[in-house]
Structures are given as structure tokens and as C-alpha cells.
Amino acid sequence: MSTKRIGRQTVVLQNPPSIIGHACVVGKKEGEGPLSDSFDHINEDSYFGEATWEKAEVAMQKHALSLALNKASIPPSKVEYSFGGDLLNQCISSAYAMRDSNIPFFGLFGACSTMSESLILASMLIDGGFADISAAVTSSHFCSAERQFRFPLEYGGQRPPTSQWTVTGSGAVILSSSGTGPYITHLTPGKIVDAGIKDANNMGAAMAPAAYDTLKTHFDDTGFPPTYYDLIVTGDLGSVGHSIILDFFKSDGIDLSAIYQDCGLMIYSVDQDVHAGGSGCGCSAAVLTGHILNGMRSGRWKRVLFAATGALMSPTSTMQGESILGICHAVTISIEKGG
Amino acid sequence: MSTKRIGRQTVVLQNPPSIIGHACVVGKKEGEGPLSDSFDHINEDSYFGEATWEKAEVAMQKHALSLALNKASIPPSKVEYSFGGDLLNQCISSAYAMRDSNIPFFGLFGACSTMSESLILASMLIDGGFADISAAVTSSHFCSAERQFRFPLEYGGQRPPTSQWTVTGSGAVILSSSGTGPYITHLTPGKIVDAGIKDANNMGAAMAPAAYDTLKTHFDDTGFPPTYYDLIVTGDLGSVGHSIILDFFKSDGIDLSAIYQDCGLMIYSVDQDVHAGGSGCGCSAAVLTGHILNGMRSGRWKRVLFAATGALMSPTSTMQGESILGICHAVTISIEKGG
């Protein structure tokens, strides 16, 4: 019998895993932003020393995982299962990054929600008694994403104000059944929500309804008021999606403005001209595994609701007139094991 | 502490979930093959009444899930979590198939290993106490795959003898914490194995080393001799990969020929001219959710080791000179709860 579910779709972990290592690697633009001090490594070369953008993204993911393992003081051979995914067709960044790892691997596709999706599953494997050490890794790269989803960089197309900038970044988290926290205590996996948005240049609006659905469900299922948290972050709703979330909750009589932020708004400054904000799997991953977890360790935040958001679509589905599907997975991270 | 792991990477489920419903939907060519009586629905129209191949694949997946739920006598609202993925860029078949389901969804990318990967995770969620009912769904469609990975059908390109035919098929499994079996008892998630094969027309050879690695690890971890099973099936190694597996085990002094089969060899007859055999997520899914599980229910097999195999690559990685990565996830299915 499922003893750990509460409400509609939330899980309370009975043996909350501890985050024993985390690291992020980013590119030049991210390194010039407001969170520059929080990244473990900033690579000035967008190619990361490789011949192609895709191989660059592979190198970046490998480096993030390696750094996270170093910080956890464990070798790759101790990682029992790993979860990873990215934006590229057939998720090749993640597969080739894990090629030589010798770690049993679960490939995921959650688009930009992958950091949460992977943390949820990696946590469940520990709490369920299937592993003591698990890893969650994801990435995105501006250049590989642009080429695949839009145009080669040389095209020089104009970007509308609602568009977002794909972060060049990778984040890795190592979880353990033992440790001193921060801990993952509650999980709210999300449902697909279709708000009928077809504009691929307005992902924030497409994903916001899914984020609202998951966040609201999380609060309803747990009984936690939003103020249970010191910080609530979505992954990459950007300025458009962030304001939509505030509006949705305002309609419910809840003012989230003091505690709600979005990684896409945190990772770049306004004068970096990214329009609506950062996006990509690497956006939420790099902000979580640097700024947020560092902040929790230093005492800035005690409880964070981390809710990465994804747009499930492809250029093909868009060309066939489909709307853009949203999904949002939420994870409670707390410095206390009890939540 | 992880109480359920044995050996290097295998898990023994302490509360083995029961398969309470399963169904498969296939296309015309599959319906003309040797397993025609085993499919729940054969659709003569490759478009499944839709305007595009991709929307056809969505319709096929939705139908398979719907049939499986009917056979389990449960409504979609009782499914607590669902796992799904497919071959298409950004796994759009699975996402759009689950769009209106209202079921919390974990998107996966395991290529043709998705049926096993999804069963593993869906089982862990039940055994770990996170859910009572979970679903695992996957699909492939010959036309959508050809267009994406190779050429539009009108191109009429020649296929070499080692090439395989992507199955137009979808399979869905509903798992429950209570039921009368068949049960899922042991899980061996796989590692990525790179044998250096670069020929995208020889997937069987590319994936066989990963299948060997997972199968051998499963036997080593569990202590089961291969003859513990009445049937061992890989997903889609085809004739080339199947013979490689026999050779590998023969080198270990083990003759698997009496009990080892491959879904890609089972789903089509030789005179259907598919060269090395069937492939695709739908290959192992359609054979499992029809022929194999029906056979278990009728008493033909008591214990089956189901090991779907995937090639992790994309046209981009191949064009960039990368080798094709293999992965294989294995699942023990038994009519007895004790395995």
C-alpha cells in the first residue's frame, strides 16, 4: 500500500535523502550575470574545447558531475543510479556525458523541468530503499538549442520581447541516504497542462499554468501555507510567466511576491538584454546547484520549494499547429530532515 | 539504507507489483505478422485517422493506454503516476498522448529500451510505497521514425541487410500494489555501453554489448542461472544482435539458444522482408503487452526476463562521427509473487 502519498499527487519522504554534493558549470554570458560568484566553473569558451556545440554540452555535463562528486568526496563507482536528460534530440548530451561513467542510467525527457524530475526520481530511489547514492544531472547550451529549435546563430534573427535566452549551463546533484542536509523532504510530480498557447516565443505563458497547477496542488496536498517556505522558485517562466503566477495566486487571495522568484530572472541582469529571461534545463539547474544550495548552506534560506518548469513540444509539433504543453515538478528542500 | 539492492545493480522488490492490465495497438504490417492474434487492436490505416504521422502515433498511444485501463477495470483518475517516452524529438508522442490524462507524468528517453525503463520506474514507485497504481506506456511509428532518423518515405532508399524495421506499435502496462500477477519481482537497470559501432544501419551490433552486460550482471547479481527463466527476450537486437548475444554467452560456456529470443525477430516473419528484424520502442512493447503477457497468463511461461534494448544516438551525433551507445534494462516477470 502506498504509505507515503498525501493528497492528490504529493509524496512525503520517510527517509529524506541528503544533498551531499552539488555543482554547476556555465558559459561566459552566465558568468557575467548577477550570480557569477555562485558558479563552480565559468567557461569563457562556448565550445568548451570541443569541435561542436553538442560535444561542448557533453563536456560541460561531465565536468559538472565530476565537480559534484569531488565536493561529495565520493568516486563515480559509488553512485548506484543516475538520472539525466536535456533538450537535444534523443537527449544526446546526457547519454554521451554518461558514456564512460559505468553508472546505471535512467534517461529522462522533461524539457526544462528535468532538474526537478531527476531530483524526484533520484530521491525516490533512496527513500524507497533501492539505493544509497544517486545522481541527478542536466544541462542546456545556448548554441546547440538555437540550432535545433530555431536557427543557426549566423542567421541573426530578431527575438521578440517575450522570448527567453537558453542558458549555457549544467547542474549536478549527488544524493545520499545519509548526510547532514540540505534534505529533500516532499515531492510533487506534475501533470501536463495545456493552456492552448501556440507561440513558441512565449514559453513563459505556455508553462505558467502548469506551474500554478503543481504549486497549488503542493500547497493543498501538504497543507503548507506558501510562507512555510523562505523561497519558492520556478525554473524558467521568465518575466511573463512569473507575473502570470503572481496574478493566478492573487486571484486566490495569496500574495507570493515576497517569496516567489524564477531562476530565469535570477541568472541574468536586465542589461544583458535576454528579453524575458533565461530558460533551458541548465537555467534551473545552474541556479539551484550554485546560488540556492549555497544560500541554504550559509543559512540564507531554510526551506525552498524548487519547481522546475518544462515546455513539452518540438519544432515539428509547433509546425503541425499544436499548442505547447507545460509541466512542472516541485521538490521541497529543507535544512531540517523533518521538513 | 538501501535494503533492496543485491549485487552490483539489481533490485529485489519486496512488494512485487502485479500487472493488472496490458494492451497493444499496432499497424497493418505488424498485424500481418506471426503475432497477429496477440494484438488488442490492429489499425489498417497508418494515419490512425489523423493528419500526420506524429499525430497518428499520439492516437495509437492513447488507444493502447485506454485499452489497458479498460482491461484493468480502472479509470484514468486512479492512475497515480505514469511513465512514458518514445523516439521522436522531444518525445512528443508521449507528451501529447498524456495531454488530457490528468495523470502526473514522468517523461523518459531510453530509445527502444523505454518499455523496460518505464516498467522499472513504475514498479519502484509502487514497491517504494509512493503509489498503488502506476502506468508504463511507449510507442514507435515506422513513418514518423523514418522521416526523423532517415528520409521521407517517398525517397525510396535501399535498406542494407543489417537494417531493422521500426515497428508501428504501442504498448501500455498498468501496475498495482495488489493483484494476482503476473508480478514484477526483480529489476536490473542498465549502464550505457559503447562498443564503438558507428553504422546506424547496424543497431543490433551496437546494442548487443549493452544487452550482454545487463543480462550477465542480472545473472551474477541474482545468482539465477539463465534456466531460472522459461524465456529471455531482448527488445530489438534483430538477427545480428541476437546471434552476437548467443556468441557472447557461448564464450562463457552458456548455451542460451533454447530460451533466448528477441522481440524484433518475433514480430515479423522472414517473408515480410524486414531484413534484420523489427525495432523501435513499440517493438518490445507490443510483443510484451500481447504475446508474452498473454502467454504467461495462459501458462505457457512462468518466468520471463524482459530486457528491452536502446540505441542512444541521434542523426546529429552520427553525423558528428560519434559511435552509437547501447543500453539495456532488464525486468523479471513471474506468475509467482515470490519470483
Encode pLDDT of A72-119 as tens digits: 999 999 999 999 999 999 999 999 999 999 999 999 999 999 999 999
Predicted local distance difference test score (pLDDT) of residue B165: 96
- Is the separation of the CB atoms in B171 and B41 below 8 Å? no
Phi then psi for residue B21, to 5 deg, are -165, 145
Confidence at residue A105, expressed as pLDDT on a 0 to 100 scale: 98
What letters, b where the CB count within 10 A reaches 16 and e where it falls short, cover A125-154? bbbbbbbbbbbbbbbbbbbbbbbbbbeeee
Instruction: Tell me whether residues A99 and B194 touch, CB distance under 8 A.
Output: yes
Chain A partners within 8 Å of B125 (Cβ): 124, 128
Amino acid (1-letter code) at residue A174 = I
Provide the pairing of β-strand A325-334 with A183-188.
antiparallel
CB contact under 8 A, A102 and B51: no
Question: Has residue A320 got a pLDDT over 80?
Answer: yes
Question: What residue type is B180 in one-letter code?
Answer: T
Helix (H) or strand (E) segment spanning residue B193: strand B193-194
CA distance B49 to B301: 37
8 Å CB contact of B117 and A103: no
B158 and A CB contact within 8 Å: no
| DSSP letter assigned to residue B227 | G
- The pLDDT tens digits for B97-147 are 999 999 999 999 999 999 999 999 999 999 999 999 999 999 999 999 999
Q: How far apart are CA B37 and CA B41, in angstroms?
A: 10
B 218-277 → A contacts, CB under 8 A: none
**Residue B157: which pLDDT band, with cuts at 50, 70 and 90?**
confident
Which residues neighbour B62 within 8 Å (Cβ) at sequence distance 6 or greater?
B97
Q: How far is A32 from chain B (nearest CA, A)?
A: 30
Whether B249 and B256 have beta carbons less than 8 Å apart is answered as: yes
CA A209, A210, A213: angle at the middle one, nearest 5? 85
Q: What integer pLDDT is reported at residue B311 of this predicted model? A: 97
Minimum-distance CB partner of B109 among A5, A54, A108: A108
Number of inter-chain CB pairs under 8 A, A vs B: 204
CA-based nearest residue to A24, from A273, A266, A241: A266
Which of A31, A320, A302, A62 has the alpha carbon at shortest distance from A185? Answer: A302
Whether pLDDT at B1 is above 80: no
| Cα distance between residue A260 and residue A230, in whole Å | 9
Are B125 and A129 inside 8 Å of each other by CB? no
Q: What is the DSSP letter of B42?
A: E
Residues 268-297 of A with CB under 8 A from B: none
Per the CB < 8 A criterion, the answer to whether A195 and A229 are in contact is no
| CA of B211 vs chain A CAs: smallest distance (Å) | 13
Q: CB of A119 within 8 Å of any CB in chain B? A: no
Chain B positions touching A316 (Cβ under 8 A) are 54, 88-89, 92, 148
Over residues A10-69, the pLDDT tens digits come to 999 999 999 999 999 999 999 999 999 999 999 999 999 999 999 999 999 999 999 999
Chain B closest-CA separation from residue A37 CA (Å) = 33
B86 secondary structure, DSSP code: E
What is the spatial distance between Cα A196 and Cα B104, in angstroms, rounded to a whole number? 19
Check pLDDT > 80 for residue A1.
no
The nearest CA of chain A is from the CA of B318 a distance in Å of: 10
Among candidates A85, A90, A120 on the partner chain, residue whose Cβ is nearest the Cβ of B313: A90
Residue B283: pLDDT band with limits 50, 70, 90: very high
The CB density around residue B61, as the number of other CB atoms within 10 Å, is: 31
Residue B155 has what DSSP assignment?
Answer: G
What domains are there in chain B, each with its CATH number?
5-176 (3.40.47.40), 183-334 (3.40.47.40)
Exposed, middle or buried, A10 (CB in 10 Å: 0-12/13-18/19+)?
buried
Q: Is the pLDDT of residue B80 over 90?
A: yes
pLDDT score recorded for residue A152: 86
A110 contacts chain B (CB < 8 A): yes
* Interface confidence (ipTM) of the complex: 0.98
User: Which residue in the set A2, A107, A191 is minimally distant from B129, CB to CB?
Assistant: A2
Cis peptide before B104 (omega within 30 of 0): no
A132 with B1: Cβ contact below 8 A: yes
As a whole number of angstroms, the distance between CA A202 and CA A276 comes to 9
Distance between CA atoms of A246 and B238, rounded to whole angstroms?
54
Residue-by-residue DSSP string for A248-270: HHHHTT---TTTEEEHHHHSS-G
Q: Which run of H or of E encompasses A174?
A: strand A169-176
The Cα A71–Cα A65 span in angstroms is 10
- At A3 the pLDDT is 87
* Residue A41 · residue A63 · CB < 8 Å: yes
Residue A166 CA to residue A277 CA, distance in Å, equals: 9
Residue B3 has pLDDT above 90, yes or no: no
Residue A157 has a pLDDT of 84
Q: Are A208 and A237 in contact (CB under 8 A)?
A: yes
Pairwise CA distance, residues A228 & A124, whole Å = 23
What residues of chain B lie within 8 A of the CB of A190, using their CB? 104-105
- Give the integer Cα–Cα distance in Å for B245 and B208: 6
- Judge whether A29 and A267 are in contact, CB under 8 Å: no
The C-alpha atoms of residue B171 and residue B40 are separated, in whole angstroms, by 10
Helix B238-251 / helix B203-222 crossing angle, nearest 10 deg: 40
Q: What is the pLDDT of residues B191-231, one digit of tens each?
A: 999 999 999 999 999 999 999 999 999 999 999 999 999 99
Q: Which residue of A has its CA nearest to B114?
A: A107
Closest residue in B to A83 (Cα) is B108
How large is the average pLDDT for residues A308-319? 97
Instruction: Tell me chain B's radius of gyration from C-alpha atoms.
Output: 18
Q: A99 vs B191: CB contact, 8 Å cut-off? A: no
Distance of alpha carbon B206 from alpha carbon B195, whole angstroms: 6
Instruction: State whether B89 and A90 contact (CB < 8 Å).
Output: yes
**pLDDT digits 0-9 by tens, B11-50:** 999 999 999 999 999 999 999 999 999 999 999 999 999 9
* Contact yes or no for A189 and B81 at CB 8 A: yes
Range of lowest pLDDT (A244-248, B287-291, B335-339): B335-339
